[in-house]
Amino acid sequence: MRITLVNVAYLVASLLFVLSLRGLSAQQSARRGNLLGTLGMLLAVAVTLGAVVAPDNKALAAGPSDLGLLAASIGVGAVIGAVLAARVAMTSMPELVAVLHSFVGAAAALVGIGSEMNGVRAGGAPDVAHHVEIHAGVFIGAITFTGSVIAFLKLRGTIGSKPLVLPARHALNASLVFACIFLAVAAFRGGEAVRVPYLLASTGVASVLGAHLVLAIGGGDMPVVVSLLNSYSGWAASAAGFMLGNDLLIVTGALVGSSGAILSYIMCKAMNRSIWNVVFAGFGDQGGVVPAAKKGEPAKKVNETNIDGAADLLLGAKNVIVVPGYGMAVAQAQHAVKEITTLLERRGTKARYAIHPVAGRLPGHMNVLLAEANVSYEAVKEMEEINEDFEETDVVVVIGANDIVNPSALDDPGSPIYGMPVLEVWKAGRVIMLKRGMAAGYAGVDNPLCYLDNTLMLFGDAKASVQKLLHAVSARAEQQAA
């Protein structure tokens, strides 16, 4: 095998991608990891363009019109990407990620269709391995595309977050998979006249399957879904690499696919659920509903507080932990929360943030929001690091989180979330819980934390409540200092 400059460049780009993933595994090195990934991609694109222009590369040779179209495509894509990255709010990052995944899926499907059309145009019997590559790539790409589009619409709120649980949905999914396999076999045996039509039909069937799979998943499982789609997009890119004979695309896709699969496993483990349960169980169909009291059971009472009471508790505390959830992201209250903790730290209070692995709608969603608000990395603690500290904490402030602080996960074997690791906030001296109302979380489970004696409920819009709390804490701190 002759080693060329292209091979060496692809190897360097692959190493940069590996180092990028390593850097992205920690907040402190995330910027460096992002930079290394960017450099790797720039190198990959530049070398690939050079191979296309190279006159001695007959397989990739392109004419002036082709090069012009390619340059225009790269330019338009670069401009759109830059505008989206600059304008998107951190709270909309999950939707952006879902859309980007859909692009990868669509690209893989289009590459497969184009490869099949070229094969038919060239004539001759199809190679078995290449035929499998094409249909597998289109299958994965189509599922990734439509699944990502549905995830985007769910995250954006365009369609409801409740799972679509159809009768015999598992049989429907199996039928769609077998239909794609049948079409692939029939296309191989049917000759040139049916290869492209059957592939297009298979693409349509796989697209329906992708949409149905994500529609059947509740909004509370969106972090895992986004991670899964990330994995799908990687395998779709790898399949496209096989179809194009591009080693770097194969390696890069495998890195993305495997890392996404590992992240999905970690998140499922954090919820004490299997990946099969997330994808096929239709979990979370009661999310957002106020739990009804059981027959004969008296209505439960909660202890309410107001802004002044919450401010007094915070100012009197020596150790405070903030637990952010999706409600904080929706309210975009992270900056006001950061200002509150800064005021407390100036008074000598120890203030930290506790992050649950599946908080929010995206892996690392809360970490991104807190980083945007310039919260120190040292103050942000993962669940395993901070759970033992709640017993020594004076006040815990829970903002827009529900299922991840539900004690039923530990002490109620009949609860749907039993066994799920949660932040044990109830062990603190006081818990201030900010919620709009008493609706359950996405798991559809009532939260006993709301009724405990040491829990105080602060009802209202999270952003308005946090802003008022900031003003109250600031005013009292100034009075005490005077």
**Catalytic residue ranges:** 403
Beta bridge partners of 320: 351, 395
| Structural contact between residues 101 and 233, judged by C-beta atoms closer than 8 angstroms | yes
Residues 220, 225, 227, CA angle at the centre, nearest 5°? 125
Place of tokens 């692809």: 10
Rounded CA-CA distance 88/73 in Å is 22
| CA-to-CA separations, 89 to 27, 149, 239, 312, 442, in angstroms, rounded | 19, 19, 32, 33, 23
Eight-class DSSP state of 353: E
Report the C-alpha gap between 477 and 482 in whole angstroms: 9
Q: How far apart are CA 70 and CA 458, in angstroms?
A: 56
User: How far apart, in Å, are the Cα atoms of 162 and each of 71, 127, 267, 313?
Assistant: 43, 44, 20, 37
- For residues 434 and 458, the answer to whether their CB atoms sit within 8 Å is yes
- How far apart are alpha carbons 263 and 383 in whole angstroms? 16
Distance CA 174, CA 168 (A): 10
Q: What are phi and psi of 434, to 5 degrees?
A: -90, 120
Question: What does the block give as tokens for 196?
Answer: 């492209």
| Residue partners of 171: CB distance under 8 A and separation at least 6 | none
Residue 380 per-residue DSSP state: E
Residue 222 near residue 361 (C-beta atoms within 8 A): yes
Residue 338 C-alpha from the chain's centroid = 24
- Is 308 in contact with 463 (CB distance < 8 Å)? no
Cβ distance 93 to 360 under 8 Å? no
**β-sheet bridge partners, residue 352:** 321
